[in-house]
Amino acid sequence: MATGRVLLVHESVGTRALLTDLLVQEGLNVEAVDSTYACMARFVDEPADLVVMGLADVHEAELEIIPALKKEERAPRVLVLFPSPRRDLAVRALGKGADGYVLEPFYRDEVVGATSEMLTVRADLTETTSPEVAALRRVYATAPVVSGDVVCDLSAERHCATEIETVS
Q: Which long-range contacts (CB under 8 A, 24 or more apart) does 141-150 make?
A: 141/95, 143/91, 148/60, 149/88, 150/88, 150/91, 150/92
| Model pLDDT for residues 122-156, shown as the tens digit of each residue | 544 444 456 666 666 666 565 544 433 334 333 33
Mean pLDDT along residues 76-82? 91
| Rounded Cα–Cα distance for residues 68 and 153 (Å) | 27
| Rounded Cα–Cα distance for residues 128 and 165 (Å) | 28
**φ, ψ for residue 123, nearest 5 deg:** -65, -25
| Rounded Cα–Cα distance for residues 29 and 48 (Å) | 9
CB-based contact 119:139 (threshold 8 Å) = no
What local confidence, expressed as pLDDT, does residue 145 receive?
43
5-128 CATH, one of 3.40.50.970, 3.90.50.10, 1.10.1060.10, 3.40.50.2300: 3.40.50.2300
Can you give the residue ranges of every domain in the chain? 5-128
Determine the 3-state secondary structure of 151 from DSSP. strand
Q: What percentage of residues in the chain have a pLDDT greater than 90?
A: 38
